[in-house]
Amino acid sequence: MKPSTLAVAAVLALAACGRSDPSRAQDEVFADANRVVPSDAQGMKSSFAPVVRSAAPAVVNISARTVQRIQADPFFQMFGGGMPQQRVAESIGSGVIVRSEGIVVTNNHVIENAQQIRVTLNDRREYSATVVLADERSDIAVLKLEGVGERLPTLNIDDREQQQVGDLVLAIGNPFGVGQTVTNGIISALNRTETGISDSGSFIQTDAAINPGNSGGALVDMDGDLIGINTAIFSRSGSSSGVGFAIPASMVKRVVDSAVGGATAVVRPWLGVKGQGVSADIARSLGLERPQGLVVSDVYANGPAAKAGIRECDIITAVDGQEVNDQGGLNFRVGAHDPNETAEITLLRDGRSQTVRARVERLPGNADLERATTISSGALTGAQVLGLNPALADSLGGDPFASGVIIARIQRGSYANRIGLQTGDLIVSLNGRAVTATNALTNVQRGDEVTIERRGQRITGRVR
């Protein structure tokens, strides 16, 4: 069978990296006496009750109330009626107390845009809560309970990442708003990245039943420690199908530590590399025994990877001993560090495995959209633009390696608005020349050819 066109293209694109002939790596055999399959009837009758008694008091129910403004029908407004109204929406979710003074971690989507947050403990005590830090990219939010006068029960965050596929776990939360519920299952997979949930997430997959309302609840191991925050399910019916995902404790701890330390946002460092996951076809073209790792296609000049000696065509296989196989996995592993910390990068070069130490850094540049320049002449009059830099591109969910000028805002009724430009458009070229600075757009005229990127697509047209 001939390889697909896409696979052939991928192999050709990596041809410059040459072939390598690595020696067969010996898989590490891991034997843990604490992981024992029940061998008799008595073992099968073992109960999860001791773990639940320890963990359940720290898992809470969260009610988030949002006031939404509903615009009246214009038809009724013509007759003096139909004034705008407000609708109160309420979302139900779960959370976990991680600090005894009342610090609670949950999903960002549970409390997003909420005007009022109410937290109910397992013993029915209720507290109002305020948001300390909300991180949309990781979908983690940290809350502070108000009026706490005593030490509350907590769950220990176990960020050592010693879990294995097949380990028993419990999911504790508030499914469908019925009250605290415990379900059990196993870890079905680790390091799930291509889930569509996040571009920089690496999730624990479990078959423990997770349903709407479980969001923000605890995924607990048999030591009673928090190893993940339940965040999403794959389902065609809207209820559990045995495919649930949890944010690993390493990222949870990173966000909690940022919040407790007084930060208002999570600063994610970067390594400064861009690459492509090794497919079966790429592995064959490079002489690898199996598809593994990320082939480096670009290294940011003077970035952390460049300073550590990482080169194009290197194959990054692990960060801090944790396997990575795509860009999302690499972003997650690096993003779990604080800026200026050192990460151990394992890579293959010329068929040999080696480890380098890279000090990860903040993305260069400024992500502040308020610095936008308003164009006051020419065909782009009314557009507020910014030269793209890695920090800005990353904050907008784009590629930190991208270049161009991004439209931050467009004044309503302006010429730029009338010709069809939109907020978020990236202007990459003008009359066939790359655009890298805002001053290149100060006097665009009719007939000029402009190329933009919009939602991943390139569009070229002439100004009329």
Distance CA 103, CA 258 (A): 12
Per the annotation, the verdict on 39 as an active-site residue is no
Per the annotation, the verdict on 100 as an active-site residue is no
DSSP 68-128: EEEPPPHHHHTTT----EEEEEEEEEEEEEEETTTEEEEEHHHHTT-SEEEEE-TTS-EEE
Per the annotation, the verdict on 338 as an active-site residue is no
Of 200, 215, 250, 258, which one is the catalytic site residue?
215
Q: Which amino acid is at 397?
A: G
Tell me which residue of 373, 365, 448 sits closest to 406, measured CA to CA: 373
Distance CA 128, CA 116 (A): 8
Distance CA 257, CA 336 (A): 11
Secondary structure, 3-state, 428-456: EEECCEECCCHHHHCCCCCCCEEEEEECC
Tell me which residue of 328, 325, 318 sits closest to 353, measured CA to CA: 318
∠198-389-311 over CA atoms, to 5°? 80
Contact 163, 221 (CB under 8 A): yes
Distance CA 79, CA 396 (A): 43
Of 63, 94, 138, 139, which one is the catalytic site residue?
139
Tell me which residue of 257, 87, 244 sits closest to 172, measured CA to CA: 244
Of 63, 94, 109, 285, which one is the catalytic site residue?
109
Distance CA 348, CA 318 (A): 10
Q: Among all residues, which ones are annotated catalytic?
A: 109, 139, 215
